[in-house]
Amino acid sequence: MKIKMRDGSMKEASFEEALGREAFRHTSAHILAQAIKRLYPDTKCAMGQAISEGFDNGIQDRIPLSKFHYDFDFTFRFSEENFPEVEAEMRKIVKENLQLRQFTADRQWALREMEERGEDIKAEILGELRPEEEISFYRQGEYLEMCAGPHLAYTSAVRAFKLLSVAGAYWRGDERNKMLTRIYGTSFPSEDMLKEHLNRLEEARRRDHRKLGRELGLFALFQEGPGFPFFLPKGLIVKKIPWEATRTGRWLRGGCEVPWRIWGCPMR
Ligand SMILES: [Zn+2]
* CA 111 / ligand 1 centre spacing (Å): 18
Average per-residue pLDDT in the chain?
89
Average pLDDT value for residue range 33-39: 97
Q: Containing H/E element for 202?
A: helix 191-206
How many Å from the N-terminal Cα to the C-terminal Cα in the chain?
51
What pLDDT was estimated at residue 261? 65
* CA 25 / ligand 1 centre spacing (Å): 9
Contact 121, 46 (CB under 8 A): yes
Distances 90 to 49, 96, 208 between C-alpha atoms, Å:
17, 10, 31
CATH topology of domain 2-206: Threonyl-tRNA Synthetase; Chain A, domain 2 (3.30.980)
Distances 54 to 48, 59, 62, 128 between C-alpha atoms, Å:
16, 11, 13, 30
Which segment, 28-32, 99-103, 149-153, 218-222, is predicted with the most confidence on average? 28-32
- CA–CA separation, 226 and 4 (whole Å): 43
Amino acid at site 150: P
Non-local (6+) Cβ contacts of 131 within 8 A are 107, 108
- Identify each DSSP E strand in 121-242 by its residue range: 134-140, 143-146, 151-152, 160-170, 179-188, 219-220, 230-231
* CA 180 / ligand 1 centre spacing (Å): 19
What pLDDT was estimated at residue 159? 94
What pLDDT was estimated at residue 58? 46
- CA–CA separation, 65 and 52 (whole Å): 4
* CA 147 / ligand 1 centre spacing (Å): 5
Average pLDDT value for residue range 67-80: 95
- CA–CA separation, 4 and 138 (whole Å): 10
* CA 139 / ligand 1 centre spacing (Å): 10
Q: Which residues are placed with Cβ below 5 angstroms of ligand 1, an ion?
A: 26, 147
**pLDDT tens digits, residue range 162-200?**
999 999 999 888 888 899 999 999 999 999 999 999 999
* CA 207 / ligand 1 centre spacing (Å): 34
81 vs 267, residue with greater confidence: 81
* CA 140 / ligand 1 centre spacing (Å): 11
Average pLDDT value for residue range 146-175: 92
What pLDDT was estimated at residue 165? 95
Residue 214 confidence (pLDDT) above 70: yes
81 vs 255, residue with greater confidence: 81
The sign of the CA dihedral 237, 243, 246, 249 is negative
* CA 153 / ligand 1 centre spacing (Å): 12
What pLDDT was estimated at residue 7? 80
**pLDDT tens digits, residue range 59-70?**
444 557 789 999
Residue 33 confidence (pLDDT) above 60: yes
- CA–CA separation, 27 and 100 (whole Å): 9
Which segment, 184-188, 245-249, 251-255, is predicted with the most confidence on average? 184-188
What pLDDT was estimated at residue 144? 94
What pLDDT was estimated at residue 264? 57
* CA 81 / ligand 1 centre spacing (Å): 26
- CA–CA separation, 44 and 126 (whole Å): 15
Q: Where are the alpha helices (DSSP H) in 12-167?
A: 18-39, 83-95, 107-116, 120-127
